Structure 1
Amino acid sequence: MAWFYADEQFPFPVVELLRTLGHDILTVQEAGNADQGIADDEVLAFATSQKRSILTINRYDFIRLHRRDYNHFGIIVCTNNRNWEQFAARIDEAVTAEEPLQGKLIRVVRPVT
């Protein structure tokens, strides 16, 4: 089981499915940080302070943040996938294979069809 912090654009149906798989997920909205225009580096800092890995579809900005500083609890960058069940399963498989997630950048890409 992983502890995640889902950024503002991350699809909530995937959050719910990951919770059913046993992951602990706090969303930006649940943390009360959604409407403040919080910058990506602040999202990462908050996740790190909570010892949570970031779940995001904002790949480029978070890859850049990872390259700048590996001192975090994991960043999972994803390509958006409208097949929610497949999306959640691919995240679950990727993080299970990589645990512990601290300092890692994990890419979860939509399968080619």
Structure 2
Amino acid sequence: MTRFYADEQFPFPVVELLRTLGHDVLTVQEAGNAYQGISDDEVLAFAISQERSILTINRDDFIRLHRGNSKHFGIIVCTNNRNWEQFAARIDEAVTAEEILQGKLIRVVRPAN
């Protein structure tokens, strides 16, 4: 089970599916941070304070943040995939394959059709 923090744009149907797979997922909205116009830096800081891995489809910005500071609990950057079940399964597989997420950048891409 992974403790995730899903950023503002991350698809909620995938959040729900990850929860059914046993993951603890907190969204920016549920944390009460969405309406403050929270920056990506603040998303990362909050995730670190809560010891959660970030889930995002905002790849470029979070790859940049990872390169600037790898002292986090994992950043999972994803290619958006409208097949929600496949999207959640690919995230689950990626994090399950890793023993430790701390300090890692994990890319989850949509499969080629």
Aligned to 2:97: 97
Name segments (4+ residues, structure 1) moved above 2 Å: none
TM-score under structure 2 length normalisation: 0.99
In 2, Cα distance between the equivalents of 1:38 and 1:3? Answer: 20
Deviation track 1:14-51 (CA, whole Å, cap 9, x = no partner) reads: 00000000000000000000011111011000000000
User: For residue 88 of structure 1, what is the amino acid of its counterpart?
Assistant: A
Q: How many correspondences in the alignment?
A: 113
Superposed CA RMSD: 0.4
In 2, Cα distance between the equivalents of 1:29 and 1:100? Answer: 26
User: For residue 66 of structure 1, what is the amino acid of its counterpart?
Assistant: H
In 1, Cα distance between the equivalents of 2:70 and 2:76? Answer: 13
User: For residue 29 of structure 1, what is the amino acid of its counterpart?
Assistant: Q
Q: Which sections of structure 1, spanning at least 5 residues, go unmatched? A: none
Question: Greater shift after overlay, 47-56 or 98-107?
Answer: 98-107
Aligned to 2:88: 88
Deviation at 1:98, TM superposition (A): 1.2
Deviation at 1:99, TM superposition (A): 2.8
1:19 counterpart = 2:19: yes
Aligned to 1:31: 31
Identity %: 87
User: For residue 11 of structure 2, what is the amino acid of its counterpart?
Assistant: P
User: For residue 32 of structure 2, what is the amino acid of its counterpart?
Assistant: G
In 2, Cα distance between the equivalents of 1:45 and 1:99? Answer: 23
SS of corresponding position for 1:93: helix
